[in-house]
Structure 1
Amino acid sequence: MSENQGPSGPREGAPGGEGRELAARARQLDAEDVLGVLRDRFVLDDTVYLDGNSLGALPRAVPGRIADVIAREWGELRIRSWTESGWWTAPERVGDKIAPLIGAAPGRVVVGDSTSVNIFKAVVGGVRMAGKGCTEILVDAATFPTDGYIARSAARMTGLAVRPVEPAGIAEEVTERTALALVNHVDYRTGELNDLPGITTALHSAGALAVWDLCHSAGALPVGLDAHHVDLAVGCTYKYLNGGPGAPAYLYVRESLQERFESPLPGWNSHTDPFAMDAAYAPADGILRGRVGTPDILSLLALEAALEAWDGVAVEDVRAKSLALTDLFLECVAAYVPAGRVRPVTPLDHRRRGSQVSLVCSGAGEVMDELIRRGVVGDFRHPDVLRFGFTPLYTSFADVERAAWMLGEVLGAPGASGAGG
């Protein structure tokens, strides 16, 4: 595609000098990109897809794997596949594939259920491990709504109170009465990266546990759960891990806590002897006690195939490209978008930035609709935030430059929405 091509055809006007320089720089960055070959591992088209922070693109390995699961493992082997095809052990096997992407050793991650269910397990299980005299749960004040809903429900069940706190203030707000804090590693709305090591250390200093929501960080940047002694963590797999719509989530439990972890959902799949059908519950050893019911095999095995896209990939390289992509996008937005039309709310500081860029823009919903119509897919959050997610495994620098150029075209058009406050 030439520098005068848009994501869905020729650009209406060739870019000026600065634009030509940015387009040329994007091409050079793509030529030097060590992760560029990974793009072929995904099913993509001419659309500039910048919504991988909501739903990742389809990895090429998935359709064939699922066809085999349906036709052979389910269609021919049927019940035998629980043992012969490894269905029974899939939750911990797939967990071990996710583990290195979040800085965990084998045996510390189990896959299954939704993010919401795993947050419930982690929060209630964490409260049960907390010291006597704890009266409160701290919750990230800017949290994704479901996290807050689950935390408040868990608090009602355990007799504790929920106290919303800004993540940056947790070190000052935590007390000996705090059982745990539930914090988002990356703010879903602004893309701000919270200080996982520092917050975890502050919580531990007060005797509280750290529970992290990794939905917007896993697969986009190093997490370091083991290295930073995180207690519990949860995350989805359909964003940067590209597991597909409704793909199962995962639960991490620090190894030293596993034998104390008491799940509030003691299903038969986490029993030490599931097929004994014992009326008395006895939890399995280790991370297996994070399982609940029968695994959702089709989506679980789709996720397992999707994770093949990570073969040979270093998370550190992913982080380096993520920052380079977001830097270029911010630079191109500044060059292409008329002054005053948008305002970045994602931190410029690399230490505080996830893998998305959020821009305040009045009429954000209508602007995004027009971008999508023109072949640039992001999303927006009410009332006025445009969100662009950058998945380093398949997002190119040319994608970034074209998306910013198209945003400038949309906001520079007669009647385009003005900037938000």
Structure 2
Amino acid sequence: MDTGEGAAPVSATASSSPEQLDARDPLAHLRERFIGSESDLVYLDGNSLGRPLRVTASRLAEFVESSWGGRLIRGWDEEWLELPTSIGDRIADVCLGAAPGQTVVADSTTVLLYKLVRAAVALRPGRTEIVLDRDNFPTDRYVAQGVAEECGLRLRWIDVDTSAGVTAEQVAAVVGSDTAVVLLSHVAYRSGWLADVAAVTACAHEAGALTLWDLCHSVGSVPTELDRWGVDLAVGCTYKYLNGGPGAPAFAYVAARLVDELRQPIRGWMGVRDPFAMGPDYEPAPGIRRLLSGTPPVIGMLAVQDMLDVIGEVGIDAVRAKSVALTSAAVAWAAERLPEVRLASPSDPARRGGHLTWTHPAMREVTAALWRRDVLPDYRDPGGLRLGLSPLSTSFAETSAGLDAVRAVLDGRDARAR
């Protein structure tokens, strides 16, 4: 993968000032491309919703005026029908380490998870279990529960430390001849734990099971090598580190060796061989297009292209290096400035993604107070303050200011209690 512009990644310690780190950051100039980056607002929730790029405003306006307003229905034949696969291939190339023809943009993460869990179960007839962890994102757990009820399957739960995540050893201990699919997140939504995808996938394959990976908290921030790792299936959203905007559609990956076997459960006219034949029977399209159901969400796919261009410009490895530097600085500064809080994320940067969580009994109250100060982190039970440090739009100074604001809120709370 491209490692960026040839500059060495910035490194951080507790003694490093945010100004020094920003001055040494080879990607610092990219921050000005994001709307709102010039304001005093401190935004530390990029892993929930990314800031929009300035160029996206122009793209959306041009689309309304020219593509939609000018071409009207001709736009479908000229470009729009191919966007799910063309943008899917671009995500695969820039972020996923995947060859063309295996990734498609469609629906929400929840809907695509449902499609792929059902499809995975169907690809392993006679197997009766879905393996997942109790701390996986709620959608993943709820979808798995629903499919288990529909198909008469059992859920095999892995109990995990909520400050860490699932290991290959834990997976090896529970998979077996009854396992149809293992459903896990690449980066844990609460702790930021970075799973060993290759090792877990190998464990599942040894048992004859498939893997389905949720990439929502890693795509665009953590490099992946889906083809090299032997991943079977994956889904991810585009509104976090891919900055596609609220409600932007998700994507699905299906390994080439499985795609023509796959039978997805939501049959719609856009997933057939010839949508405009309007035929009497469902005949799935060849290749990854068979995962489509209804009309592609064209407007929701527009902004994603701009962020993919930026990531492609510098390389996902450079993005990851900046992310590691940001989270490392935040960990060092928090240890110095917030000694009463507990880091509920891996301390080893190689074992975490792009966000961090600290716990303290007052964190729900602290988060609400921070929002009133235009400092926007996230809160996650139990008592967790989560900082999503989006590598290309978040500066070291912004991160430092956010931690200082946490200190001020805690100090104010303590003063009121005296």
Tell whether the structures are fold-level matches, with TM greater than 0.5.
Answer: yes
- Residues 1:30 and 2:7 aligned together: no
Amino acid at match of 1:180: V
Q: Hey, what does 2:352 align to over in structure 1? A: 353
* Contact 1:104-1:225 within 8 A present in 2 as well: yes
Q: Hey, what does 2:411 align to over in structure 1? A: 412
CA distance in structure 1 between the partners assigned to 2:14 and 2:381 by the alignment: 31
Q: Hey, what does 2:132 align to over in structure 1? A: 139
Gaps of 5+ in 2: 1-12, 160-165
CA distance in structure 2 between the partners assigned to 1:387 and 1:78 by the alignment: 43
Q: Hey, what does 1:371 align to over in structure 2? A: 370
Bigger shift: 210-219 or 367-376? Answer: 367-376
Matching of residues 139-178 of structure 1 within 5 Å: 139-166=132-159, 167-168=166-167, 169-178=170-179
> 1:371-391, CA deviations, whole angstroms, 9 ceiling, x for partnerless residues?
222232101013411000111
Deviation at 1:310, TM superposition (A): 2.1
Amino acid at match of 1:76: G
CA distance in structure 2 between the partners assigned to 1:70 and 1:302 by the alignment: 13
SS at match of 2:227: coil
Q: Hey, what does 2:122 align to over in structure 1? A: 128
* Contact 2:56-2:303 within 8 A present in 1 as well: yes
CA distance in structure 2 between the partners assigned to 1:23 and 1:292 by the alignment: 53
Matching of residues 324-363 of structure 1 within 5 Å: 324-337=325-338, 339-340=339-340, 342-363=341-362
Amino acid at match of 1:36: A
* Contact 2:330-2:400 within 8 A present in 1 as well: yes
- Residues 1:78 and 2:77 aligned together: no
> 1:35-64, CA deviations, whole angstroms, 9 ceiling, x for partnerless residues?
112112211222221100100001112111
* Contact 2:220-2:311 within 8 A present in 1 as well: no
CA distance in structure 2 between the partners assigned to 1:266 and 1:304 by the alignment: 27
Q: Hey, what does 1:13 align to over in structure 2? A: none
Q: Hey, what does 1:16 align to over in structure 2? A: none
Q: Hey, what does 2:110 align to over in structure 1? A: 116
- Residues 1:384 and 2:350 aligned together: no
> 1:383-403, CA deviations, whole angstroms, 9 ceiling, x for partnerless residues?
411000111111111112222
SS at match of 1:27: helix
- Residues 1:65 and 2:59 aligned together: yes
- Residues 1:55 and 2:56 aligned together: no
Q: Hey, what does 2:402 align to over in structure 1? A: 403
Q: Hey, what does 1:216 align to over in structure 2? A: 217
Bigger shift: 67-76 or 115-124? Answer: 67-76
Q: Hey, what does 2:4 align to over in structure 1? A: none
CA distance in structure 1 between the partners assigned to 2:33 and 2:219 by the alignment: 19
Amino acid at match of 2:198: P
Q: Hey, what does 1:10 align to over in structure 2? A: none
Deviation at 1:284, TM superposition (A): 1.0
* Contact 1:332-1:405 within 8 A present in 2 as well: no
* Contact 2:327-2:349 within 8 A present in 1 as well: no
Amino acid at match of 1:160: L
Question: Among residues 40, 43, 46, which one is paired with 2:35 in the alignment?
Answer: 43
CA distance in structure 2 between the partners assigned to 1:32 and 1:56 by the alignment: 24
- TM-score for both structures, normalised by structure 2: 0.91
* Contact 2:221-2:391 within 8 A present in 1 as well: yes
CA distance in structure 2 between the partners assigned to 1:409 and 1:94 by the alignment: 44
SS at match of 2:313: coil
Q: Hey, what does 2:87 align to over in structure 1? A: 94
Question: Among residues 96, 105, 125, which one is paired with 2:99 in the alignment?
Answer: 105
Bigger shift: 92-101 or 398-407? Answer: 398-407
* Contact 1:235-1:251 within 8 A present in 2 as well: yes
RMSD of aligned C-alpha atoms? 1.7
Amino acid at match of 1:41: R
Matching of residues 315-330 of structure 1 within 5 Å: 315-330=316-331
Change (3 A) 1:200 1:344: same
CA distance in structure 2 between the partners assigned to 1:98 and 1:129 by the alignment: 26
CA distance in structure 1 between the partners assigned to 2:400 and 2:270 by the alignment: 48
* Contact 2:191-2:357 within 8 A present in 1 as well: yes
Amino acid at match of 2:404: W
SS at match of 1:95: helix
- Residues 1:195 and 2:200 aligned together: no
Q: Hey, what does 1:291 align to over in structure 2? A: 292
CA distance in structure 2 between the partners assigned to 1:363 and 1:28 by the alignment: 32
Deviation at 1:205, TM superposition (A): 0.7
* Contact 1:368-1:379 within 8 A present in 2 as well: yes
* Contact 1:186-1:214 within 8 A present in 2 as well: yes
SS at match of 2:318: helix
Deviation at 1:23, TM superposition (A): 7.8
Amino acid at match of 1:127: V
Q: Hey, what does 1:250 align to over in structure 2? A: 251
CA distance in structure 2 between the partners assigned to 1:106 and 1:184 by the alignment: 23
- TM-score for both structures, normalised by structure 1: 0.90
Gaps of 5+ in 1: 1-20
Deviation at 1:266, TM superposition (A): 1.9
* Contact 1:62-1:305 within 8 A present in 2 as well: yes
CA distance in structure 1 between the partners assigned to 2:212 and 2:268 by the alignment: 22
